[in-house]
Amino acid sequence: MSGVNRISGAGRLTPARTARFTFDGRTLTALEGDTVASALLSHDIHLVGRSFKYHRPRGILSAGAEEPNALLDVSRDAARRQPNVRATVQEVFDGMKVASQNRWPSLSFDVGSFNDFLSPFFAAGFYYKTFMWPKAAWHKLYEPFIRRAAGLGVTPTEPDPDHYASRYVHCDVLVVGAGVAGLAAALAAAKAGAKVIVCDEQGEVGGALHHDIGTVIDGKPGYGWAQQTGKALAAMDNVTLLTRTTAFGYYNHNFVALVERVTDHLAAVDETLPRERLWQVRAKKVILANGSIERHMVFANNDRPGIMLASAGRTYLNHFGVAVGKRVGIYTAHDSAYEAAFDLKRAGVAVPVIVDCRQKPGEAVLEEARNLGIEVLTGHSVVDTSGKLRVASISVARNGGGGQRKIAVDALLVSAGWTPSVHLFSQSRGKVKFDAATERFLPGIYAQECLSVGACNGTDDLQATIDEALAAGELAARAAGAKGGAQVALNGRNAFEWTGGMIGAAEGAGADKTVKAFIDFQHDVCAKDIRLAVREGMHSIEHIKRFTTNGMASDQGKLSNMHGLAIAAEALGKEIPAVGLTTFRQPYTPVTFGTIVSHSRGSLFDPARKTPMHAWEEAQGAEFEDVGNWKRAWFYPKAGETMHEAVARECKTVREVAGVFDASTLGKIEVVGPDAAKFLNLMYTNAWDNLKPGRCRYGIMLREDGFIYDDGVVGRLAEDRFHVTTTTGGAPRVLQHMEDYLQTEFPHLKVWLTSTTEQWAVIAVQGPKAREIIAPLVEGIDLSNEALPHMSVAEGRICGVPARLFRMSFTGELGFEVNVPADYGQAVWEAIWARAEPMGACAYGTETMHVLRAEKGYIIVGQDTDGTVTPDDAGLSWAVSRKKPDFVGIRGLKRPDLVRDGRKQLVGLLTKDPKVVLEEGAQIVADPNEPKPMTMLGHVTSAYWSPNCGRSIAMALVAGGRARLGQTLYVPMADRTIAVEVSDMVFFDKEGGRLNG
Amino acid sequence: MADQAMATRKAPLEGLRGGSPAATVTPAVPASRIALRAPAESVSALSAALGVTLPVRPKTSASTAKRHALWLGPDEWLVIDEDGADLMAAAASSNALHSATDVSHRNTAVIVSGSGAEVAINSGCPQDLSLAIFPVGACSRTIFGKAEIILFRTAEDSFRVECWRSFSSFVFGLLSEGAIDAGH
């Protein structure tokens, strides 16, 4: 027998099937199917944790997802450890390690419980009051203190070795909850032929039938009927039944997120199984059948271990075969708790008293209590409890005063009635309405294609629930287009009709300012705290919630919201609807980061775009840099070289011999159609009509406002076909920009755009020996200066494969850009390299490319421009056609601010000390001695050590820059001021002769 | 040139195999492809020239032997020839107004096959892939995780997933993980 509280013959678990686990180091035996909570209770362990603020001893309060107290640290092995696991949800598996939290040095002796004696200093809103002043103490004292004190569990430090899966799925009808209502609805929808998904957070279907053994459906005990129905549903082709699956978020357009806990209950885990699976469901209709949650009673010291919800007591007895005590009292405002007393009494457990704060409980339950010989005190309240680490007695008094009677108990089951679970309905943006007669919020106005059935809809009667659910299931199926036939009829009956329920503080909560009558167990919020908030001027429930933190713990106030609201309404002297209800937010219960992240980790976190030559570059020891999602070869260090040395070597080699560069990531757009030139005329500042096939031109693209958007070389392949290049990072947005104008402004043009970025591998061969390197590989193209001058393009073959060969240069050297279909990229690169290397050429990366282009004063859009730079500012007026009647940005360029004198212009800067390299982004001033704030003239956009110039070079945007040529300006830095001379931007080969080889 | 060997083709996913018994994930053999754009007036001439009737309804395709035309937009198709035929020349022979661009190497494809193919693709694709909604021959330019794909159902249990070559290792990796989960 596992556990002293396990009652022979009770419950549904199999005694022979055991599992061993440890709790705070102590080895315990559980039965298969036990939750951690039921297993601990079977060993008479109620004390499982310390409360958040006061460190009060806390026990297991519930048997479900609403649990605020029993949050434990559960681990499978060193790396698989999770804090704040609800003991009432987590199933035991063999070898599991469980530890209590928020206690030191031990659970039974916790130093932090000193807070309980200091509680007058921790009144509601104490954060806002106590830690106000002095400001400096926040970082060093208050915040670290609060953070340490506030954390419940301890975050795992090792990477999570488990994996997680994700699935999108569509269905006709999604049913949330597989209790009586959910099963009936799913059955009706499925029989009508709809594609149905049913999910339930528990390990098996049945919902409230886990505890309520008095229900009979179709002549069978409720739980048995549920299992049979679940099996029948699971066997249907059109039904997916998901247990251990919580619908945690209801989003727009009936998009509902579910998390399925796949392996957390298994001892031996198949490594191919995900730990959890995220289901992203798009349902035509959603049926909410998520039941109701029992509330606790609010009275003095109602938080001692051993005090729990009546339905939880029934669940532990009827499902798990565990009696929660040997002498169990009942304190209730609702008939349902009587049945807990009946079940316990019949199982041989002493039930000394049922305390009912109502004068008139239901007749039937009262009579049954009498028959079973249980004392019932109506019109009485529990006004206090005693017991250090477990409840030992309750003090009972007649309502309205009178003497107290002390009754010894070792457990107390409480019920203030049931709160319909409208969380998902509220998340769907549905509006709840308050039903004054039953004091509960119910679904009111629906915002989405959704229906609520059963307890979450306020339907109490069993037959009414069944009928409502069957009708909803069929209606939803039909509305979703299902055309099947079979109608379903079911009959059900309960052992007893239930009446009653109360919200707010019971008599025993007292008006006393020191009485601790808890409403929110997880955040240690008492009835008095709500009253204090009202006294201090909080009138909206949203303010009261934030001031007291009621309902703000990870259980989202599943137990406390209604009590808090009722107490606030009473203190304010208002009706409950006038005080309002806080909004329910996703997720319904906490969701692991693993599930949210799902597949998006490691190499699947983000696509790493690699060029066709990547493997070669990697093998050569290249360092890579990220440019957007691309991995680009940054520089190729030889053994022992620093980055600076490698880049200096590459820069020299390109200009002295030649270099080979992977330019594949350059954006490429093929512009095709009879109106292609007309379209480019409109998109670029340059004129394209006069560009002959076989020639290229550098083009500038503006936004409507006249500022530079992108640039690139455009080659004309035929009258009706252009090969446009863009910056690497600009490729997608430039295509979108062009497509946008084509579709909305120029739809009359017969031209089409296709991204060809990835069609071509691009190998730039630059330097004096560039022609010599490629010449023997090229077929059908005359490489001479006459036939293929600078800025031209020809189609032919290279290494036997079709190629587009561009004669162009971003280095100022004789240069070619070899474009071959991407799958040939590596082979052609290797062929070029086989010729280049023996000649003394090098492979070079993006850093060298940047330096070489800066030596020539070629700009990089996005580095030397920032979205406020016009072509003239960048010294590129020559590229703006004066003859064209229209192009995107032509009007923007005429704006007064864009043509005024003194705009920032791109110029070169030469430091007086040639060894000093400026910092990119540094500010530039005319007078270094000007008092602060100084007049800033502009900033450095590019700065490098230029190996070919033997000094530092820089480019900068400077107000009235071109008029300052030769002037000395200053760059103030934190430790010194650097004197610079304004120059033009061409630092190397000013005549440009090298371009022609 | 005479002494140079012809460059060999290296597909981005060459040699990879992935997935599970429920859904195999394999690279497709290299194919030729064009991105075809044309106004409605050119559709019949292009269809004749290409030997496959260009579909004009959303989410549909047409196939002739190993040549497939996938509808991507009102004036846009992806034409794939699994034998690597010269589609540019075929389109040009139509003499009708159009734009054809060779994207044979821009795209690569992954074949997902098996009873779990739908589930594998649904690991990153939010579309409804049930047979009634996405029948054999259906195609769609859509998303798969963080990549854009063109999804083409070639059989009840088989899909061709086209993507740009630099996204292919991401697509292949996510499909493989989805395929493993599809086995459960």
pLDDT tens digit sequence for A220-232: 999 999 999 999 9
**Which chain A residues are within 8 Å of B180, Cβ to Cβ?**
272
- Residue A626 has a pLDDT of 97
Instruction: Tell me: pLDDT of A906 over 50.
Output: yes
Write down the pTM of the prediction. Answer: 0.94
Q: What is the largest CA-CA distance in chain A?
A: 115
Would the pLDDT of A544 be above 50?
Answer: yes
* Average pLDDT score over chain B: 96
* The pLDDT value given to residue A583: 82
A-chain residues near B173 (CB < 8 A): 603-604
Q: Is B177's Cβ below 8 Å from some Cβ in A? A: yes
Contacts of A617 (CB under 8 A, 6+ apart): A611, A624, A633, A636, A662, A843
pLDDT in tens, A426-465: 999 999 999 999 999 999 999 999 999 999 999 999 999 9
A673 contact residues in B (CB cutoff 8 A): 97, 99
Residue of B nearest to A279 (CA): B123
CATH topology of domain A901-996: Elongation Factor Tu (Ef-tu); domain 3 (2.40.30)
* 3-class DSSP string for A643-677: HHHHHHHHHHHHHHCCEEEECCCCEEEEEECCCHH
pLDDT at A885: 95
**Does A252 contact chain B (CB < 8 Å)?**
no
Q: In B, residues 28-87, which contact A (CB 8 Å cutoff)?
A: 30, 35, 37, 39, 75
- Domain locations in chain A as residue ranges: 18-117, 165-292+420-493, 506-586, 608-666+759-787+794-869, 667-756+873-892, 901-996
Say which CATH superfamily domain A667-756+873-892 falls into.
Aminomethyltransferase beta-barrel domains (3.30.70.1400)
Homologous superfamily of the A506-586 domain (CATH): BFD-like [2Fe-2S]-binding domain (1.10.10.1100)
The DSSP code sequence of B115-164 is: TTHHHHHTTT--S--STTTS-TT-EEEEEETTEEEEEEEEETTEEEEEEE
| Contact at CB, A272 and B184, closer than 8 angstroms | yes
Q: Measured between beta carbons, which residues in chain B are less than 8 angstroms from residue A831?
A: 4, 7
> Does residue A774 have a pLDDT over 70?
yes
Q: Residue A268 pLDDT > 70, yes or no?
A: yes
Give residue-wise pLDDT tens across range A342-382: 999 999 999 999 999 999 999 999 999 999 999 999 999 99
Domain A18-117, architecture per CATH: Roll (3.10)
Examine the pLDDT at A976 and tell me if it is beyond 70: yes
Domain A608-666+759-787+794-869 has CATH 3.40.50.620: no
Q: CA A384, A389, A393: angle at the middle one, nearest 5?
A: 35
A918 token code pair: 């400026």
Angle at B162 between CA B46 and CA A726, to 5 degrees: 80
Instruction: Render pLDDT for A850-885 as a digit per residue (tens, 0 to 9).
Output: 999 999 999 999 999 999 999 999 999 999 999 999
Whether A739 shows a pLDDT value over 90: the answer reads yes
Q: Per the structure block, which two tokens stand in for A945?
A: 């050590």
What secondary structure does DSSP assign to A932-967, as a single string? SSP-EEEEEEEEEEETTTTEEEEEEEEETGGGGTT-
- pLDDT value at position A129? 59
Least confident span in A101-115, A279-293, A729-743, A771-785:
A101-115
Domain residue ranges in chain B: 16-30+106-184, 32-103
- Equal CATH topology for B16-30+106-184 and B32-103: no
Q: What is the CA radius of gyration of chain B?
A: 17
Averaged pLDDT, A506-521:
86
Mean pLDDT of A767-781: 97
- Taking the Cβ of residue A728 and every Cβ of chain B, the question of whether any pair is shorter than 8 Å is answered with no
How far is it, in rounded angstroms, from Cα A361 to Cα A356?
Answer: 8
pLDDT above 50 (res B3): no
Predicted pLDDT of residue A111: 73
A604 at interface of B, judged by CB pairs closer than 8 A: yes
A102: confidence class by pLDDT, cuts 50, 70, 90: confident
Q: Tell me: pLDDT of B2 over 50.
A: no
- H or E element: which one contains A896? helix A896-899
What's the mean pLDDT in A137-144?
Answer: 64
Q: What is the ipTM of this complex?
A: 0.97
Average pLDDT over residues A962-977: 97
| Structure confidence at residue A916 (pLDDT) | 97
Q: Which residue of chain B has the CA closest to A751?
A: B99
Whether A282 and B3 lie within 8 Å, measured CB to CB? no
Q: Does A146 score more than 60 pLDDT?
A: no
A53 has pLDDT over 70: yes
Percent of chain A residues past pLDDT 70, beyond the cut? 96
The sheet with strand B99-102 has its strands ordered as: B61-64, B67-73, B76-81, B32-37, B99-102
> What is A165-292+420-493's CATH superfamily?
FAD/NAD(P)-binding domain (3.50.50.60)
**Cβ(A147)–Cβ(A194) under 8 Å?**
no
Tell whether B147 is within 8 A of chain A (Cβ): yes
Query: Measured between CA atoms, how close is A201 to chain B, in angstroms?
Result: 19
Structure-derived torsion over alpha carbons of residues B135, B137, B138, B141, reported in degrees to the nearest 10: 150
Better-predicted residue by pLDDT, A135 or A726: A726
B13 interfacial to chain A (CB closer than 8 Å): no
Cβ–Cβ contact B125 with A under 8 A: yes
Q: How confident is the model at residue A51 (pLDDT cuts 50, 70, 90)?
A: confident
Contact across the interface for B10 and A827, Cβ inside 8 Å: yes
How distant is the Cα of B45 from the closest Cα of chain A, in angstroms? 17
Count of C-beta atoms within a 10 Å radius of residue A160: 17
Quick check: bond before A933 cis, omega within 30? yes
pLDDT for the residue numbered B1: 42
Between A168, A673, A760, which is nearest B99 by CB?
A673
CA distance B143 to chain A (A): 12
For residue range B101-136, list pLDDT tens digits in order: 999 999 999 999 999 999 999 999 999 999 999 999
Do the chains contact at A821 and B146, CB–CB below 8 Å? Answer: no
More confident residue, A657 or A137: A657
Whether the CB of A227 is below 8 Å from some CB of chain B: the reply is no
Q: Is B100 on the interface with A (CB under 8 A)?
A: yes
pLDDT at A496 over 80: yes
How far is CA A657 from each of CA A637, A654, A768, A832, A837, rounded to the nearest angstrom?
A: 18, 5, 6, 14, 10
CATH superfamily of the domain spanning B16-30+106-184: Probable tRNA modification gtpase trme; domain 1 (3.30.1360.120)
pLDDT value for A125: 65
Assigned CATH for B32-103: 3.30.70.1520
Assess whether pLDDT exceeds 70 at residue A150. no
Instruction: Please report, rounded to a whole number, the percentage of residues in chain A having pLDDT higher than 90.
Output: 88
pLDDT at A148: 57
Put simply, the answer to whether B6 touches A828 (Cβ < 8 Å) is no
On the CB side of B64, CA atoms within 13 Å amount to: 12
Per-residue pLDDT, averaged over A45-51, amounts to 93
Residue contacts between A and B (CB atoms, under 8 Å) = 153
Of B7, B123, B164, Cβ closest to residue A165: B123
Nearest residue on chain B to A601, alpha-carbon basis? B174
As a whole number, mean pLDDT of residues A335-344 equals 98
Cross-chain CB nearest to B101 (options A670, A776, A821): A670
Average pLDDT, chain A: 94
* Cβ-nearest to A779 among B1, B103, B178: B1
